[in-house]
Amino acid sequence: MIVTVTLNPAVDEEYLVPEFRPGGWFRASKVQRSPGGKGINVSLVLKQLGLETAAMGFLAGFSGEYIRDVLRKTQITTNFLHVRGETRTNVYIVDEVGKVETGLAEPGPYISEEEIARFVSNYERILKRTSLVVLGGSLPPGIPQDFYCELIRIARQRDIPTFIDAAGAPLLAALDEGPTYAKVDQRFMGSYEGVSLNSLDNLIEAVTRVHALGVEWVIASYRTYGNVFFTPEGIFLAEFDRKGIVSMFGSGESLVAGLILSDKEGMDTRGRILFGMAAALENALHVEKGVRDRAAVEKLIPRIRLEKLS
């Protein structure tokens, strides 16, 4: 079973507001509410693609119950720890006219040491039946910045591969522990070890350095619609054009889910990148997070430009 860890889940609220600008009063033409947080999003997309996962992490309050309810109805296995406080709400404002996305995030509930210990014992228990761990997103208050390190170490002791999709200090700390896959979200991370991630050459340098830490696959976003992949078979650049794109919200997690599913099915490196990118593109073609289904993803593979850089 694949386990996704979301330490700081969120209720994602997407508001479609034509011509949004700060300082005004607007009416949303559409509102989309869904459970979120990187790990949960990966679980939801994998479910849409037909793969079972178990989602774990911390939930709190009314928003936490909402998330658990939706996951339950979607028949995703859950093992969340319910804590005091309130799970955060993340607000995204999508302006279809100006093609601009604005985001607002809350910090999330405080997690006590006792609760962390309880989570770790749940994590160790579930690992007995786990083939891959996906760790995603920010850390709520109370969780030490190097917590992902510990989770990766525990998984590695049991020979279970890990996929981390995070940013900032928690990601940097985790990279030292050598996860199997790492996705570096450039939106939240302008530079790596002093190397600015704005040009392709710099990106290649950064992913090469991360790879040297023992990370087999490194994925870093490039421009708006592209990603650089450092794989055991070389460095690739994959991109798609912006035709029909409504919102990139959740696309990163669809990419992660696509890479996981294609790996499970034994596709080769190129096939995996193409499938993952097609899942990301499919996600971006509608306001709703996630993908419609597998057929819709496969149809988009011809739209992915894949180039081997070295």
Partner 1 sequence: MRICEVMDRDLTALSPDTTLSEAIEVLTRHRVSGIPVVDSTGRVLGFVSEKDIVKAALPGYFDYLQDPSFIPDYGQFQKRLKKIGHDPISKVMAKDVVSFSEEDSDFYVAITLIRNHLKRAPVVRDGILVGVVNRADLLERIMMEEEPPSFA
Binding residues (CB under 8 A) for partner 1: these are: 54, 65, 68, 72, 75-80, 82-84, 121-122, 124-126, 128-129
Q: Minimum distance between the CB of residue 75 and partner 1, rounded to whole angstroms?
A: 6
SS3 179: coil
Nearer to partner 1 by Cβ, of 124 and 268: the residue is: 124
Q: Nearest approach, Cβ of 64 to partner 1 (angstroms)?
A: 10
For partner 1, the closer of residues 102 and 130 by Cβ is 130
Give phi and psi for 113, each to the nearest 5. Answer: -60, -40
**Residue nearer to partner 1 on the CB measure, 80 or 249:** 80
Q: Which is nearer to partner 1, 4 or 283 (CB)?
A: 4
How far apart are CB 53 and partner 1 at their closest, in Å?
Answer: 10
Q: How far apart are CA 258 and CA 49, in angstroms?
A: 8
Residue 64 or residue 252: which is nearer to partner 1 going by CB? 64
Element (H, E) at 7: none
Least distance from C-beta 78 to partner 1, angstroms?
5
- For residue 134, what are its two tokens? 């996906």
Complex with partner 1: residue 118 or 303, whichever CB lies closer: 118
Q: Rg of the chain's alpha carbons, rounded to an integer?
A: 18
Q: Quick check: helix, strand or coil at residue 128?
A: helix
The DSSP letter of residue 277 is: H
What one-letter code names the amino acid at 117? Answer: A
CA distance to 107, 144, 185, 253, per residue, from 259 (Å): 29, 29, 16, 10
Q: What are phi and psi of 238, to 5 degrees?
A: -125, 135
Least separation, in Å, of the C-beta of 204 and partner 1?
A: 42
Separation between Cα atoms, residue 227 and residue 185, nearest integer Å: 10
Contact between 177 and 152 under an 8 Å Cβ cutoff? The reply is: yes
Q: How far is the CB of 84 from partner 1 (least distance, A)?
A: 8
Distance CA 287, CA 292 (A): 11
State whether residue 95 is helix, strand or coil.
strand
Smallest distance from the beta carbon of 114 to partner 1, in angstroms?
9
Closer to partner 1 by Cβ: residue 115 or 263: 115
| Least CB distance to partner 1 at residue 122 (A) | 8
In one letter, which amino acid is 305? R
- Residue 79's Cβ-count burial label (10 Å; 0-12, 13-18, 19+) is middle
CA 261, 248, 192, 145 torsion-angle sign: negative
9 vs 252 by CB, closer to partner 1: 9
